[in-house]
Amino acid sequence: MADVADAALEFADLAKNLKLVGLDGLRRELYKALDEAAAPLAHEIGNVDHLKDYMPTRYAGVLAGDLRIVTHKRVAGTDPGVILHITAPTLGRGGRKVQQRNAGRITHPLFGDKQRWFTQFKGMRPGFADDPAERAGPVVRDRILEAVRRAADMAVGK
């Protein structure tokens, strides 16, 4: 069985070849299939009930409202694949620190005193984005391979 890296290489090769031979419509269909393969994972990561397992309930609701998850396809370079770009922009504050939350910590001013910041680990659990991504890896890989096969078959007229 192919691993995620093999699936990513097959995807990148097909996407490049479809562009080279002028089958951009088929390439767009391939990209759409990849977005659809990643959509359940993005939904899980941004789900407030999922987030409650990783952080305080009140903050999970706040973060869920701010999360933006975008799928990017990378076909160039040595590391092709599908990437979920996770951000949590906020108005006028530069955004929530998604990597810090995923690492299982949160920083906040001590009782509102912005001169004294506190790093909180209590109530936090690392992996709100990493855990579902690791669990979904085989399913997403299979969907990517299925989309690659369908597009390749369509390209040769099957």
R_g over Cα of the chain: 19
What is the per-residue pLDDT across 20-78, written as a single tens digit (0 to 9) for each? 666 677 777 777 877 888 899 999 999 999 999 999 999 999 999 999 999 887 766 55
Tell me if 11 sits within 8 A of 30, measured CB to CB. yes
pLDDT at position 1: 43
What is the per-residue pLDDT across 80-132, written as a single tens digit (0 to 9) for each? 567 889 999 987 677 889 999 999 999 888 888 889 988 989 999 999 999 99
The domain segmentation of the chain, as residue ranges, is 4-155
What is the DSSP secondary structure assignment for residue 126, as one 8-state letter?
S
CA–CA distances in Å: residue 56 to residues 18, 36, 96, 104, 108: 47, 30, 15, 11, 13
What is the DSSP secondary structure assignment for residue 69, as one 8-state letter?
E
Tell me if 75 sits within 8 A of 12, measured CB to CB. yes
pLDDT at position 80: 59
What is the residue type of 155?
Answer: A
pLDDT at position 153: 78
Q: How far apart are CA 155 and CA 158, in angstroms?
A: 8
pLDDT at position 72: 83
